[in-house]
């Protein structure tokens, strides 16, 4: 006589349990994806708590190239900008990049955008191993000017002030700098931003227009 559904349940059998580890592997992969997404969403919140801000952006106008994986330092005595946005993101290196290490070729970064920016005494340096490639500009009366400025950063510091800041926006709804981030990602934006004694570690920078008065490029024993 065939067993009833009740009798089958009372036997403690679990026909839903898979016979192989494929489902468990899938759950592991989904878990890793959720953790990475959570990390991306948490980055700007950490930056807000630390009070460290600067220009970066990734989206319609953002970084569209494979990064080298070599970080570079940027400093300025003062940055002033109109139209500021910021949210979390991931940058990707080229396949089999020698700089990937154990990162899988990805770098978790804070992405931001400034529609129009000026910078005093800009310095940028990259450590090439034993020497630094050093770029300076805007040290005279003329300031460095940029439009649609985008940078992807892992470290930012300075004394920042904002006008009409909004914190906690969905990144896909940002409208101050013309860049939108991924839907569901934490973000912030402001009408204006000022940062004194700016210092940041970047992996990428782009700009629609970048004017560098008094540009000097050279090798140096020290960086910025």
The sign of the dihedral angle between the CA atoms of 60, 89, 163, 207 is negative
Assign 219 a pLDDT band (cuts: 50, 70, 90): very high
Q: What percent of the chain has pLDDT over 70?
A: 71
* Res 188: pLDDT: 96
- Give tens-digit pLDDT for 172-194: 999 999 998 889 999 999 999 99
Tokens 């009070």 -> residue: 51
Mean pLDDT of 142-151: 95
Tokens 């992807």 -> residue: 152
Encoded tokens for 170: 């969905």
**Do residues 134 and 75 touch, judged by C-beta distance below 8 A?**
no
Is 60 exceeded by the pLDDT of residue 170? yes
Is 70 exceeded by the pLDDT of residue 20? no
177 to 37, 64, 81, 223: CA distances (angstroms): 24, 18, 10, 31
Q: Which residues contact 59 (CB under 8 A, 6 or more apart)?
A: 111, 113, 179, 180, 181
* Res 40: pLDDT: 52
Helix (H) or strand (E) holding 154: strand 144-163
- Give tens-digit pLDDT for 81-95: 999 999 999 999 999
- The more confident residue out of 98 and 13 is 98
Assign 34 a pLDDT band (cuts: 50, 70, 90): low
Mean predicted lDDT score pLDDT of the chain: 81
Largest CA distance in the chain: 96
Tokens 């759950």 -> residue: 27
């Amino acid at each position: 006589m065939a067993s009833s559904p009740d009798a089958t349940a009372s036997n403690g059998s679990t026909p839903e349990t898979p016979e192989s580890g494929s489902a468990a592997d899938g759950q592991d992969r989904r878990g890793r994806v959720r953790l990475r997404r959570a990390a991306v969403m948490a980055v700007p919140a950490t930056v807000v708590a630390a009070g460290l801000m600067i220009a970066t952006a990734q989206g319609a106008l953002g970084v569209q190239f494979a990064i080298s994986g070599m970080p570079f330092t940027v400093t300025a005595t003062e940055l002033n900008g109109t139209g500021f946005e910021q949210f979390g993101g991931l940058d990707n290196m080229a396949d089999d990049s020698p700089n990937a290490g154990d990162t899988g070729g990805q770098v978790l970064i804070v992405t931001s955008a400034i529609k129009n920016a000026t910078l005093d005494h800009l310095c940028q340096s990259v450590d090439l191993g034993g020497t630094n490639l050093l770029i300076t500009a805007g040290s005279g009366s003329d300031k460095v000017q940029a439009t649609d400025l985008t940078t992807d950063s892992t470290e930012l510091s300075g004394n920042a002030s904002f006008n009409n800041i909004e914190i906690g926006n969905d990144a896909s709804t940002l409208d101050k700098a013309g860049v939108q981030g991924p839907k569901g990602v934490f973000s912030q934006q402001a009408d204006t931003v000022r940062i004194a004694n700016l210092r940041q570690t970047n992996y990428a920078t782009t700009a629609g227009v970048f004017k560098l008065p008094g540009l000097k490029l050279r090798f140096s024993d020290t960086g910025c």
